[in-house]
Amino acid sequence: MDPAEKLLRELIALPSVNPGFLPEGDARGGEARVADFLLATAASGGLDVHLHPVFPGRSNVIARLTPKNFRRRVVLAPHMDTVGHVAMPDSLFSPTKKGDRLFGRGACDTKGSIASMLTALLNVARSPARPRETEIIFAALVDEENNQHGSRGLVECGFRADLAIVGEPTRLKVITAHKGDLWLTLRTRGKAAHGSQPELGRNAVHAMARVVGLLETDYAKQLAKRGHPLLGPPTINVGSIRGGTQPNIVPDVCEISVDRRTIPGESNAKVIRELRSLLRANGLAAEVIDDKSAAPCWPMETNVKLPLVRTLMQAIGQHSARGVRFFSDASVFAHGGTPAVLFGPGDIAQAHTADEWISLRSLERATGGLTKFLQGLP
C-alpha cells in the first residue's frame, strides 16, 4: 500500500471533530488523538518534534527537519480538525475504498493534506538529497474549522517562515489568493404592541425586510461591478433572520446574520462603514455588528513572482496564478508576516459532505510534487 494512503487511512480512523461543533464531552471531539499519532509518526521518521499548546488538550504538532546552518524556512501547514455534528454516524471514521476513492471524515479536508505533506517530508528526511540551507517544518494545526486558533497562536508566538504551504483541497493547484470572510449581525428595533392594535407599535421585522431587500438587490448589484482577476467580485449573503416571539405581538427586535466575502484591497472596517452609509442613504436604521472582531478573516494574496512560490509551481507543473473563494489559515500566516499559498489533494466540493472522499491518484500526485519541491530546495 502507498505510504500516504496508509497514513491517511490511519488518520481517518482517529476522530478529530472540532469541539465547537459537538456537545462537551463527546468522545469524537478534539485533535488530541491525531496529534499524538502524528507526533509518534514524525519522531519515528527522524524528525525533531514537539507540541505547541493552544488550549488544554489541544496542541499544534511541530516536526522539524533542520540542517546545521539554515538560511530559510518553509512550513507545511495542514489542519487536524474536521467538521461534524452530534448525529453523525461513526461509520464516517471507517475508511472505505471504492475504486480510486477513499471515503471518510476528513479524507480531503484536510487529512489528505496531512498524509501527503508528512509523507513527503519523511521521504526527504530519509533521502541523502535533503536541503542544506532550508529548514522544513511540518505544522499540523488545531481549530481551523472554527476560529483558526492554531495558526493564530503560532503567529502570535512570533513564528515566521519564508513560505507557508497551507494544506487545503485545491485539486493540486497552488493557490495564491483567497477571499476574506466577514460575519455581521444587523439589528433593527421597533416597539412592541398587541397584535390587535399594530398601529400602536413599530414592526422591527418589517423594517428588517426593507434592509434585506436592499442588501440582496441594490447592494449585491453594486458588489458585482467590482472584481479581482483571480477571485471575482465580493459577495453578500443574508444567511438567517430572527425576529418576534408570537403572531399576536408586534416584534420590537429583529436580527439577521450576514456573510460578506471580501477581496484584497477591502478591509473589514471599510465594509462596515460602507454598509452603515448605505443604510443611512436609504433612510433605514439598523445596528451593524462585527461578529468576528476577535478573530478577523482577511482576504489574502501572495506575490506569484516570489522565488519559493515559483519553485513550488514549477515542481507541480503550474504556469499561472490561481485563486479560491473560501477562507483558510493562509490568511493568518500572510498577515503575520509569512508569505502563504494553499496546496493539497482533493476537491473542496467534497469537503464537509456526508460522503466525503479523496482521489488516491490525487493523493499520490500531491506527495510526489511536494517531495520534488522539498528535495529541490537548497
| Helix (H/G/I), strand (E/B), else coil: 220 | helix
Q: What is the CATH number of the domain that holds 203?
A: 3.30.70.360
Residue 230 contacts residue 177 (beta carbons within 8 Å): yes
- Per-residue pLDDT at 11 exceeds 90: yes
pLDDT (tens digit, 9 = 90+) per residue, 348-363? 999 999 999 999 999 9
pTM: 0.94
- What CA–CA distance (Å, rounded) separates 52 from 242? 40
- 47 pLDDT tier (thresholds 50, 70, 90): very high
Average pLDDT of the chain, as a whole number = 97
Structurally, the chain folds into a number of domains equal to: 2
| Final residue before a domain boundary, out of 229, 258, 290 | 290
Q: Are residues 112 and 57 in the same domain?
A: yes
- For residue 1, pLDDT beyond 90: no
Distance CA 64, CA 358 (A): 27
Instruction: State how far the Cα of 343 lies from the Cα of 365, in Å rounded to an integer.
Output: 12
**307-314 long-range contacts, CB within 8 A, separation 24+:** 308/72, 308/74, 308/162, 308/163, 308/339, 309/163, 309/174, 309/176, 309/339, 309/341, 311/373, 311/376, 311/377, 312/163, 312/165, 312/174, 312/341, 312/343, 312/373, 313/174
Domain shared by 203 and 125, yes or no: no
Specify whether 267 is located in the same domain as 330. no
Write down the residue that cell numbers 487529512 correspond to: 111
Name 58's Cβ contacts closer than 8 Å, sequence gap at least 6: 19, 30, 31, 32, 142, 143
Q: What is the mean pLDDT of residues 72-97?
A: 96
**Can you give the residue range of the structural domain that contains 203?**
180-290
Q: What is the pLDDT of residues 260-317, one digit of tens each?
A: 999 999 999 999 999 999 999 999 999 999 999 889 999 999 999 999 999 999 999 9
Quick one: pLDDT band at residue 24, thresholds 50, 70, 90?
A: very high
Cα separation, 313 vs 172, in Å, equals 10
282 and 145 together in one domain: no
Q: How crowded is residue 13: how many other Cβ atoms within 10 Å of its Cβ? A: 14
Q: Are 220 and 235 in contact (CB under 8 A)?
A: yes
Q: Which residues pair with 255 in a beta bridge?
A: 187, 242
Place of cell 448605505: 278
Claim to verify: residue 344 and residue 270 sit in the same structural domain? no
User: Above 90 in pLDDT, residue 129?
Assistant: no
Of the candidates 102, 99, 79, 93, which has an alpha carbon nearest to the alpha carbon of residue 31? 79
pLDDT in tens, 219-261: 999 999 999 999 999 999 999 999 999 999 999 999 999 999 9
Same domain, 148 and 236: no
Average pLDDT over residues 63-73: 96
Q: Which residues of 234-255 are buried (b: 16+ CB within 10 A; e: fewer)?
A: bebebeeeebbeeeeebbbbbb
> Could you tell me if 259 and 310 lie in one domain?
no
**Domain end: 290, 320, 352, which one?**
290
- Residues 174 and 189 both lie in one domain: no
Tell me the average pLDDT across 124-151: 95
Q: Which grid coordinates are listed for 357?
A: 472522499
Query: For a pLDDT cut of 90, what percent of the chain falls above it?
Result: 98
- Within 292-359, where are the H helices? 307-316, 329-335
Chain center to CA of 180: 10
Look at residues 290, 323, 347 and tell me which one is the last residue of a structural domain.
Answer: 290
Place of cell 459532505: 353
* 218 and 231 belong to one structural domain: yes
The CATH number given to whatever domain includes residue 94 is 3.40.630.10
pLDDT of residue 272: 98
Q: What is the pLDDT of residue 153?
A: 97
8 and 138 assigned to the same domain: yes
Share of the chain above pLDDT 70, in %: 100
Do 215 and 107 share a structural domain? no
Kindly state whether residues 172 and 125 are assigned to the same domain: yes
